[in-house]
């Protein structure tokens, strides 16, 4: 029987939803489920890892792992994979995952399937579905020969359920830092306490229809009521109205929330490619012919400066 190693990302002492999804999926394989957590705070999530079915927990607790360095992480993860004898790795297709695991795959001479939206197990074999050409078509893919199968899943694609393992073994790994070609001097973190776009269950996204950066306050007010995260189209990011970290689309972040509210977004294909996986899409635009309405579950044709404040007030009444 094989062993699946799940690379678990966490924030503020709690597992990210993407990690919960991956652990739930790994349990369904019938294989041994191992979890890997890195950083000096990694021990704080061991109980959560057990709750979602981890039979083995591997920790890299050294403070050197508190800052992401691709060379260091690659060497350390390859070391854990070999010691744990994992036959497959599941990780999130986050910015970290997309940067890290192609390096791991190259080091292990293993195949990597990235940006997957569906995951199926058949014995030790793994089959995935992944979008191509900005979501215009989908491909099924599997591994032929690969020492370790590596799959990067998009967040908010898989169900989550708890099922504690009957017993769990925890191993703390020591790792000597190799000679590195790069050194991380400083990491500047954003001040927002809201969920990252890829993890958010509700997103309120703004486009050029907002006219100026100051009008994003309308979206922030609505997002605060809904417990949502605010996103943006490429046009407003290029205009300097908000940071690239808020960009949804082909050159930004790919999201799949339960609810996506597009405010003043025209619906260019590059933007739609990043949010078409949303379960429910609500579009607000004063142009009845805007392409976004072709993707929308519900559409509101009207002036956003009139519609959004009214929506905010109505949601306040409902969610008291």
Judge residue 294's burial from the number of C-beta atoms within 10 Å of its C-beta, 0-12 exposed, 13-18 middle, 19 or more buried: exposed
* Nearest-angstrom CA–CA distance, 111 and 116: 14
> What is the tens place of the pLDDT at every residue in 257-290?
999 999 999 999 989 999 988 999 999 999 999 9
Q: pLDDT grade, residue 103 (50/70/90)?
A: very high
> What is the tens place of the pLDDT at every residue in 31-50?
999 999 999 999 999 999 99
Q: What pTM was computed for the model?
A: 0.86
Query: What stretches of 185-301 show up as alpha helix (H) in DSSP?
Result: 216-226, 234-238, 269-275, 292-295
Domain that holds residue 293: 202-318
For 42, phi then psi, to 5°, come to: -60, -30
Task: Work out the mean pLDDT of the chain and round it to a whole number.
Answer: 92
Domain-located, residue 194: no
Q: Decide: 221 and 312 in contact? Cβ < 8 Å.
A: yes
Domain-located, residue 297: yes
* Nearest-angstrom CA–CA distance, 299 and 309: 16
Same-domain status, 298 and 240: yes
Same-domain status, 44 and 157: yes
pLDDT of residue 186: 75
CATH number at residue 61: 3.40.50.620
Q: pLDDT grade, residue 183 (50/70/90)?
A: confident
Domain-located, residue 148: yes
pLDDT of residue 61: 93
Same-domain status, 45 and 103: yes
Domain-located, residue 177: no
Domain-located, residue 185: no
Angle at 245 between CA 244 and CA 251, to 5 degrees: 60
Same-domain status, 256 and 137: no
Domain count along the chain: 2
pLDDT at 134 over 80: no
Residues in the chain: 320
Same-domain status, 160 and 256: no
Domain-located, residue 190: no
* Nearest-angstrom CA–CA distance, 56 and 36: 9
Q: Which contiguous run of DSSP H or E holds residue 79? A: helix 70-84
**Buried/exposed code over 184-197 (b: 16+ C-beta within 10 A; e: otherwise):** eeeeeeeeeeebbb
Domain-located, residue 127: yes
Domain-located, residue 48: yes
The mean pLDDT of 4-19, rounded to a whole number, is 94
């Amino acid at each position: 029987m094989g062993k699946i190693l799940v690379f678990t990302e966490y924030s503020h002492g709690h597992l990210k939803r993407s990690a919960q999804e991956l652990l739930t999926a790994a349990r369904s394989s019938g294989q041994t489920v191992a979890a890997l957590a890195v950083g000096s705070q990694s021990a704080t999530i061991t109980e959560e890892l057990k709750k979602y079915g981890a039979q083995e927990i591997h920790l890299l607790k050294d403070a050197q792992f508190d800052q992401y360095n691709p060379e260091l992480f690659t060497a350390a993860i390859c070391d854990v994979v070999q010691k744990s004898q994992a036959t497959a790795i599941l990780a999130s297709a986050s910015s970290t995952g997309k940067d890290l695991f192609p390096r791991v795959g190259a080091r292990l001479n293993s195949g990597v399937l990235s940006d997957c939206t569906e995951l199926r197990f058949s014995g030790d074999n793994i089959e995935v579905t992944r979008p191509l050409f900005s979501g215009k078509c989908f491909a099924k893919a599997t591994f032929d020969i690969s020492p370790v199968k590596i799959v990067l899943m998009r967040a908010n694609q898989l169900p989550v359920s708890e099922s504690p393992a009957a017993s769990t073994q925890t191993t703390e790994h020591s790792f000597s830092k190799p000679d590195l070609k790069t050194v991380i001097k400083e990491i500047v973190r954003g001040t927002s306490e809201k969920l990252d776009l890829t993890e958010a269950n509700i997103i309120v996204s703004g486009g050029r229809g907002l006219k100026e950066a100051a009008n994003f306050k309308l979206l922030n007010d609505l997002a605060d009521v809904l417990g949502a995260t605010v996103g943006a189209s490429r046009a407003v990011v290029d205009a300097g109205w908000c940071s690239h970290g808020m960009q949804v689309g082909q050159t930004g972040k790919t999201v799949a929330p339960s609810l996506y509210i597009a405010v003043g977004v025209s619906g260019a294909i590059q933007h739609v490619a990043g949010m078409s996986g949303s379960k429910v899409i609500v579009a607000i635009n004063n142009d009845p012919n805007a392409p976004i309405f072709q993707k929308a579950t519900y559409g509101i044709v009207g002036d956003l400066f009139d519609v959004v404040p009214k929506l905010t007030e109505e949601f306040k009444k409902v969610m008291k």
